[in-house]
Structure 1
Amino acid sequence: MNRLAGYFRVIIPIAYLIGIVGISIKIDNPQYFKVTSIFVPVSFLILMLFHRPHSFRFWITLASIGLMGFLVEAIGTNTGLIFGQYTYGSSLGFGVFGTPLNMAINWMMLVYLVAFVLQKWSINPILKSGVSAIILTLFDWVLEPVAIRLDMWRWDLQTPPFHNYIGWFLFSFIVFSIFYRFASKLHNPLANTFTVMHSLFFIVLNLIFRLI
């Protein structure tokens, strides 16, 4: 398993690099962006393949966060009350209630990665959940211009309203509070690799999109 993890530490950065280059070249061809609908679940499956320890408590907690993430996104896009008025594009693949099922995976993966990075912080759980929520909200701020350009979703007002970030922070705080209460022990040799590459992917694309 350690050897396999070593291979993936090489494969994962290459895959993200190919994505950055490919998107930059195919920026005017939205059909290319549909690869995202496959990349998201495959990345999550690889990440979870190396997770330890396995327990019913961990999986039910993570699945609950995925379900909550999907529901809040579905409510948000259908009412505009939580994040603002927005609709999903085709890049994230199949969905119900106007919401891609991949949004559940997105929430599970993001919460898992942030929690992994901060798991050694021995601080008050409420404060830890707040810091984690701030990190995820900042990530959304970086993510938004890229997501819009890649047709993941689009805003009625072209750009996300300020209360989108308030909604992200409040919901993130809730799910992190749940995660830290029920699934705090994480071991995963690929988590740091995914965290770094996932962050760089959107930061670099953000910079590229400002130039083209």
Structure 2
Amino acid sequence: MICTQKKGTTFFIFLIVGFFIGMAAEWLGVHTGLLFGNYIYGNNLGPLWYGVPIIIGVNWIMLVIISGSIAERLKTHWLLKAFLGTLLMLALDVLIEPVAVQSDYWVWSGEIPLSNFLGWALIAFVIQILYFSMKLGEQNKVATVLYFIQIVFFSILNIVL
């Protein structure tokens, strides 16, 4: 997916800044309960960096790129594209959350709170704005396929788990 993206300094700056925005948001969430609610990560997502699995920062970037690629198809202002990309990410998060809890990716102190989805939308929108304001949006068939594979995958897991 990254191989099909525009290369250049701007793209790599986006990768680094987007990764750290995602990681900082998750750190804040894990250590304070702000943004998402009270949760901790389980042991199934690999090495932690200050209590947050490194793969989570990568996942924020991947989801922004694939949802932004789909949103790029709209012939409209980039802010509307960022908003659509956010909605696409949020739709995927709704499917991921129950599976993640069942798979010990993370554990909530109770039910999955509404604040999780609101916080998720906020951080997703911030990174989407970064993505589109840096003029990185491009249509990418691989990204679109990857998004829909994830939709199908997590939908099936929600049924069988």
- TM-score, normalised by the number of residues in structure 1: 0.71
1:141 match: 94
What is the DSSP-based 3-state SS (H/G/I as helix, E as strand, rest coil) of the residue aligned with 2:4?
Answer: coil
- In structure 1, runs of 5+ residues without a counterpart are 1-46
The amino acid across from 2:83 in the alignment is: G
Structure-2 residue corresponding to 1:160: 112
| 1:203 is the counterpart of 2:132 | no
Distance across 1 between alignment mates of 2:80 and 2:46: 35
1:85 and 2:38 matched:
yes
The one-letter amino acid paired with 1:148 is V
Shift of 1:69: 0.3
- Could you list the runs of 5+ residues in structure 2 that have no partner in the other structure? none
CA contact (8 A) 2:36 2:113 kept: yes
Report the Cα distance in structure 1 between the residues aligned to 2:45 and 2:14, rounded to whole angstroms: 24
Conserved 8 A contact 1:83-1:165: yes
- CA change 1:132–1:187 in 2 (3 A) is closer
- Is 1:74 the counterpart of 2:34? The answer is no
Structure number, greater radius of gyration: 1
Q: What SS does the aligned partner of 2:107 have? A: strand
Deviation of the 1:92 alpha carbon: 0.6
Report the counterpart of residue 16 of structure 2 in structure 1: 63
Count residues in correspondence. Answer: 161
The sequence identity of aligned pairs, in percent, is: 28
> In structure 1, what residue type is equivalent to 2:101?
I
How far, CA to CA, are the matches of 2:137 and 2:81 in structure 1? 15
Deviations 1:19-45 (A, max 9, x none): xxxxxxxxxxxxxxxxxxxxxxxxxxx
Equivalent positions of 1:1-212 (< 5 A) are: 47-48=1-2, 50-157=3-110, 159-186=111-138, 188-209=140-161
User: Compared with structure 1, are the counterparts of its residues 52 and 130 closer, same or farther at alpha carbon in structure 2 (3 Å cutoff)?
Assistant: closer
> Which digits, 9 at most, give the CA deviation of each residue in 1:17-76, with x for residues without a partner?
xxxxxxxxxxxxxxxxxxxxxxxxxxxxxx32x323211101111221111101100111
Asked whether the equivalents of residues 61 and 183 of structure 1 are also in contact (C-alpha less than 8 Å), the reply is no
C-alpha separation in 1, matches of 2:78 and 2:138: 16
Contact (CA 8 Å) 2:68, 2:137: kept in 1 or not?
Answer: no
CA–CA distance in 1 between the matches of 2:87 and 2:139? 23
Query: Could you say what the CA RMSD is over the residues aligned between the two structures, in angstroms?
Result: 1.5
Q: Which moved more, 1:104-113 or 1:170-179?
A: 170-179
Could you say what secondary structure the match of 2:57 adopts? Answer: helix
1:110-164, CA deviations, whole angstroms, 9 ceiling, x for partnerless residues? 000001111121212222222221221121111100011111101011x211111
- Offset at residue 188 of structure 1 (A): 4.3
